[in-house]
Structure 1
Amino acid sequence: MPPEITDSHCHLDFPDFDGELPDVLARAKAAGVGRMVTICTRRAGLANVQAISEAYAEVFHAFGIHPMRAHEEPLMTVSELAEAAAHPKCVGIGETGLDYHYTAESAEVQQQSLRIHIDAARETGLPLIIHARAADDDMAAILREGYEDGPYSCVMHCFSSSAELARAALDLGFYLSMSGIAAFPKSQELRDIFAAAPLERILVETDSPYLAPPPHRGKRNEPAYTAHTAKVGAEVFGLSYEDFAAATQANFERLFSKTVAAA
């Protein structure tokens, strides 16, 4: 069996996987992907991700409102997020964040939603899961302001932003997650950002069904393909695949400590 790794961010409740989850999870296991965190992005999806994580021992879930959805429904409250987080297999708050690429017109409500999720992460002790696109300055400022109000843990999911935002996150003790984007041939600048980060702050993920790494680029992504990104990660850090896998496993368990308690 290959070394075990974890897909720290996927969307197993999306229609792309309807009727296929047993096969998808079997392929993940064969690739060494022993755990997955499936991420809820809107209120209506919570019951579904809970059901998936309850049905499969290797699957955990997180709950939050995606920034591109923040304007579509009432803002969550900290107590609502904390209530959902009490589920034994809910291991994170999010994904939340800022996306000014597609939804800049809702920037104000996105910022309000992000601050609520930060407060919930602090209250629950679960890590915040951040989506950031075309909003680096506001993102760094809000994360920093939130931390000044009281520490919390956080991962910059599918990180593909600037070196400046990477440094701001790392300076707060946060983690960067490497997705299939880091494996794209034209992503050398992004790989350089990861190479400059401490190994102990790196996670791997798919964000499936999106962003499949080579050799599956352009096709539906799935948790098994975390291994392709992890192989690139090992090259970035000049490590064997086994050593990189072990490092990211330790990082995941440190950040998502509830997964260890639930095992």
Structure 2
Amino acid sequence: MRIIDSHIHLDKYDIVKRKQILKDMEKVQLESLLTVSMNLASSINNYQLSLKDSRIKPAFGFHPEQPLPSDEEVNELLSWMREHRHNMVAIGEVGLPYYLRQENPNIDNSAYIVILERFLTLAKEIEKPVILHAVHDDAPIVCDLLDKHQITRAHFHWFKGDIRTVERMAEKGYRISITPDVCYEREIQELVSAYPLKLMMIETDGPWPFEGVFNGEWTHPGMMHESVRQIASIKGLPIEDVYEALYQNTKDFYHI
């Protein structure tokens, strides 16, 4: 029944909730937290959190759903990441600003692609997996970039996309992670049905809130037990086998 949260913004929780999560880890059989970063300040915060608790496994990067950083900011972040490459399990979260462009169609995606390529270049150089924010129309673009940079260890978190892209990703062996919205979102349930369990992980993307049975609750990794039950039901597999597969998939992918 062991679980690992493969994608959480731990540094974005307030101190009280963060302490509660860490306190509850043993109770909810949560072994590790893969905590992703938004920018340099966030990367430093996650790094410092990991020094205090070895169960926190940090990833460093720049979240694309925010205004473009300056060249100086990108260079500083990449330099810091290279210096701390032995302190991170992955580069992330990185990707393309799909939701930001829905709000402002005038945003130039090409500038974000340039930045993403710099992170992919670093991932190849230091041999780290990448945690990707790439959904819908952006996913094929990112798949092309992964091919271009010969990146094979790719994790698409909270993925949403068309069946052709889903099949392409599965063929490449890319990982996806499933959030608690699998308990009520048909689109995510269909993704779970289509994607191989051996390439699947679970996540919360906390502190992002959820609806359905979780409506009104703050996002706690313990919610992922409901995700596992739903995945097992969709796949028609014994829940013990699904727990073990999701757990081992994450351990193997991140070498933790």
TM-score, normalised on structure 2?
Answer: 0.88
- CA distance in structure 1 between the aligned counterparts of 2:145 and 2:20, rounded to whole angstroms: 44
Superposed CA deviations along residues 42-68 of structure 1, whole A, max 9, x for unmatched, are 111122101111111211110110112
- CA distance in structure 2 between the aligned counterparts of 1:24 and 1:42, rounded to whole angstroms: 23
Deviation of the 1:112 alpha carbon: 1.2
Superposed CA deviations along residues 80-127 of structure 1, whole A, max 9, x for unmatched, are 43333222xx11111111122223514122111211122122222221
- CA distance in structure 1 between the aligned counterparts of 2:99 and 2:252, rounded to whole angstroms: 32
Matched residue type, 1:207? D
- CA distance in structure 1 between the aligned counterparts of 2:216 and 2:109, rounded to whole angstroms: 30
Per the alignment, residue 130 of structure 1 pairs with 132
Deviation of the 1:213 alpha carbon: 5.9
Whether the aligned pair in 2 keeps the contact of 1:183 and 1:232 (CA below 8 Å) is yes
Matched residue type, 1:26? K
Deviation of the 1:214 alpha carbon: 4.4
Matched residue type, 2:234? V
Per the alignment, residue 119 of structure 1 pairs with 121
1:141-220 equivalences under 5 Å are 141-184=141-184, 187-212=185-210, 214-220=212-218
- CA distance in structure 2 between the aligned counterparts of 1:207 and 1:145, rounded to whole angstroms: 24
Whether the aligned pair in 1 keeps the contact of 2:11 and 2:45 (CA below 8 Å) is yes
- CA distance in structure 1 between the aligned counterparts of 2:26 and 2:213, rounded to whole angstroms: 19
Whether the aligned pair in 2 keeps the contact of 1:85 and 1:93 (CA below 8 Å) is no
Superposed CA deviations along residues 21-45 of structure 1, whole A, max 9, x for unmatched, are 2321222321221111111111111
User: What runs of 5+ residues in structure 1 fail to find an aligned partner?
Assistant: none
Picking from 198, 223, 231, the partner of 2:221 is 223
Per the alignment, residue 240 of structure 1 pairs with 238
Per the alignment, residue 16 of structure 2 pairs with 19
Whether the aligned pair in 2 keeps the contact of 1:206 and 1:212 (CA below 8 Å) is no
Whether the aligned pair in 2 keeps the contact of 1:8 and 1:204 (CA below 8 Å) is yes
Secondary structure of 1:69's partner?
A: coil
Whether the aligned pair in 1 keeps the contact of 2:129 and 2:155 (CA below 8 Å) is yes
Change (3 A) 1:237 1:207: same
Whether the aligned pair in 1 keeps the contact of 2:39 and 2:61 (CA below 8 Å) is yes
Runs in 1 of length 4+ with deviation above 6 angstroms?
Answer: none
Per the alignment, residue 140 of structure 2 pairs with 140
Per the alignment, residue 58 of structure 2 pairs with 61
Secondary structure of 1:60's partner?
A: strand
Matched residue type, 1:107? N
Between the aligned residues of both structures, percent identity stands at: 22
